[in-house]
Amino acid sequence: MYRPFLSLRWLVTRPINLLGVGGVTLGVFAMIVVVSIFSGFLKTVSEHIRSASADIAVQALPSTAQFPALQRALAEDPNVAAAAPRLVHFGMLHEKDHRPPPPPLLGRGSLQGGDTPFLIVLGIDPAREFLTTRLREWLEDVPPDLRVNNLDAPLEQKNGHDAILLGAERMRNEGLKPGDLVVLTSGKLQRSNDGLSNPDPIDHEFVISGAFHTRHIGYDGNNTLVDIAVLQQMLKLPITSVHEIIIKVRDPKTTEDTADRLTRAVRRTLQIEDLEERRGPVARSWRYRNRFFLQSIEWQRELMKIILIVIMVVAAVLMFATLSMMVTEKTSDIGILTAMGGTPRGVMSVFLGCGMAITSIGIALGTLAGCLGSIYLENFRQLVLLWTGLDLFPVKVYNLDRVPYDLDPIWIMQVACTAAIVGIVVSALPAYRAARHDPLVSLRGT
């Protein structure tokens, strides 16, 4: 009985032990909060990417590709719900009679795309696009003054001008409104008879019909949508030409398998012999197309874990130091405990009990604080913003409404178990030293 009693007495009568408790609490807290916010961020951002991306895109089609034939082949797949053609081109956007804005300063990101004049110009077929992507949501999710007039035909001509859709953020930044005229400057390589390639500049005037908003950072600012027929005309391409085919699947769980099947189907249709060739047309899932971006966040999270281990090490050292001090101070009591019938094992378990109590309290407090901290970090941010005007987490940059979090029970368990193991190891060493201590040394007195 004396073991838990003494552990507890020694624990509560020595305030320095709070240092160990605090260390473990802080370590566990940080591990849980930081990782849960990164996970939440990853989750939210992938949802954003998801909402901006078609399930599958068939890319790297040859210039001779014809949409109708490919569409028929794709439609045969049981998991294909809808398909839409796209032309992918590029251009610079500027107001009529203005020079295009200068290129962005080095280092200025293209996060919102607002400051780069270079744009990807997507030629889309709105009717098919509605069935394949969330185009309608993109058009609806903008402030009323930027919204298109006719949600069913967003790219219909107005006053003899072809229509163009711009990212909402970009329109705000550049002070554009629906109805404004803009010029798209682009070009095309023209192959002459003697085999030389010459750039052939193209200018086309558009009327802005409205804004779109996908929430995918970097997408809205860098993309602009026009009617596929208009782009075909500009580029002098046939009416069936296609650069990319986007696809909506029925069962999202088998997207990757479906993509593999579609790659083979497309290659067969285009009579490409080698179905496994790395180059050539290929169907990619949205996850694969965005893998570098998603992975970079994941890697940041893993990196963060490594950094957080340092906190754990500090906590462990703190605990080790306080427990070692305690054993050193308490060696004088080991003699009397032995005289009263204590064994080395018993003495060891008293000190081990202290360490375990410190660890358990630390884990319990840290887990609680970590979970509450993750959930209420947004409230904390709001409070700091209100008091000091300081924004701790500029969530707007990432198109978030609040500080995200995703509490993963498995991670919490992993953290708790790691902390417990570290706690056992760190308390075992001083406890072992106590058990090895010769009780007669302290009993002989001076």
Partner 1 sequence: MSTSKRTATGIVDPNSIPVLAAENVRKNYWLGKRAIPVLRGIDLRVYQGEMVALLGASGAGKSTLMHVLGLLDTPTDGQVLYDGKPAHSLSINQRAALRHRHTGFVFQFYHLIPELTALQNVVLARMMQISTLHYWRERRAVRAEAVLILTQFGLGERLSHRPSELSGGERQRVAIARALIAKPRIVLADEPTGNLDSHTADGVMELLFEINQTQQLAFLLVTHNEEIAARCHRMIRLKDGLVVG
Q: Which residues bind partner 1 (CB under 8 A)?
A: 1-2, 4-6, 9-10, 13-14, 332-333, 335-343, 346, 439-440, 442-446
* Residue nearer to partner 1 on the CB measure, 6 or 422: 6
**What letters, b where the CB count within 10 A reaches 16 and e where it falls short, cover 385-395?**
eeeeeeeebeb
SS3 content of the chain, % helix, strand, coil (to 5): 55, 20, 30
DSSP state of 343: -
Gap between the Cα atoms of 355 and 347, Å rounded: 13
CB of 48 to partner 1, least distance (A): 56
Question: Residue 109 CB: number of other CB atoms within 10 A?
Answer: 13
Question: Residue 290 CB: number of other CB atoms within 10 A?
Answer: 18
* Residue nearer to partner 1 on the CB measure, 397 or 443: 443
Helix ranges, 76-159 (H) = 126-132, 135-140
Gap between the Cα atoms of 30 and 370, Å rounded: 7
DSSP, collapsed to helix, strand or coil, labels residue 377 as helix
CB of 445 to partner 1, least distance (A): 5
Gap between the Cα atoms of 328 and 334, Å rounded: 10
CB of 326 to partner 1, least distance (A): 11
Residue positions counted in the chain? 446
CB of 337 to partner 1, least distance (A): 8
CB of 30 to partner 1, least distance (A): 32
**Residue from 249, 232, 342 nearest 287 by CA:** 249
CB of 332 to partner 1, least distance (A): 8
CB of 296 to partner 1, least distance (A): 54
Is the CB of residue 58 less than 8 Å from the CB of residue 86? no
Q: Which residue has the tokens 């650069």?
A: 243
CB of 430 to partner 1, least distance (A): 17
> How far does CA 41 lie from the centroid of its chain?
5
Gap between the Cα atoms of 249 and 55, Å rounded: 6
Gap between the Cα atoms of 282 and 188, Å rounded: 24
CB of 439 to partner 1, least distance (A): 7
Q: Which helix (H) or strand (E) holds 442?
A: helix 439-443
DSSP state of 104: P
DSSP state of 105: P
* Residue nearer to partner 1 on the CB measure, 218 or 346: 346
* Residue nearer to partner 1 on the CB measure, 12 or 383: 12
CB of 25 to partner 1, least distance (A): 24
Gap between the Cα atoms of 381 and 390, Å rounded: 9
What pairs with residue 56 in β-bridges? 247, 285
